[in-house]
Chain A
């Protein structure tokens, strides 16, 4: 069991470019969560998805950010027209059922985005 796979591990983008972050959940997990970790700050919730559905996107900025979890393939977090403030570590987590209260999250190793 490979666990939660995120790629790329490191991503450098110039201001104004698009960043695409991928996450494949653990086998058997159908619930995906994206969190962002800024330097010296705690992990902040962004979005919660199930296959083909966005369940909760209350933590996602209204503009430039979008997420999807298609029927086939990984979950994608897309950031359009990146700015320096988007530089952070982005973590994906999965769980076998709704909510992490019973299972705890299984996190991937993250994608470190640097905007230059």
Chain B
């Protein structure tokens, strides 16, 4: 069965630095990959989507890469701010069009 792994430990970085979060997957080939932000007690908020034929996607201070050979996506937040502190989830489409497989998330804390 498919397996998705995100940074297992919480990530703490200094304000202004670039945060890099990792999403690795095994056992299948998704056509799409999404990143979400989740704050405590809230639902996930969609951030970015990248397709298998796209190497990189950017949105303001966010950048996502998708390496289908390595089966890995990297999520970068540049010039990080304390307000970026949250849990970030990667989600891979299940090739059915109806559902996504979610990772357990990486907790990011940006220290002022």
Contacts and interface: CB of A to CB of B under 8 A. Distances in A.
Range of interface residues on chain B?
20 to 34
B100 A107 contact: no
A42 interface: yes
Contacts of B1: none
Nearest to A104: B46
A59 interface: yes
Given A55-B98, A56-B98, A108 B104 contact: no
Contacts of A58: 99
B64 to A, nearest CB: 12
Interface of B: 4, 31-32, 34, 36, 41-47, 49, 89, 91, 93-94, 96-105
Given A41-B104, A91-B44, A109-B43, 10 more contacts: A6-B43, A42-B105, A44-B102, A100-B34, A101-B31, A102-B49, A105-B44, A108-B43, A110-B41, A110-B42
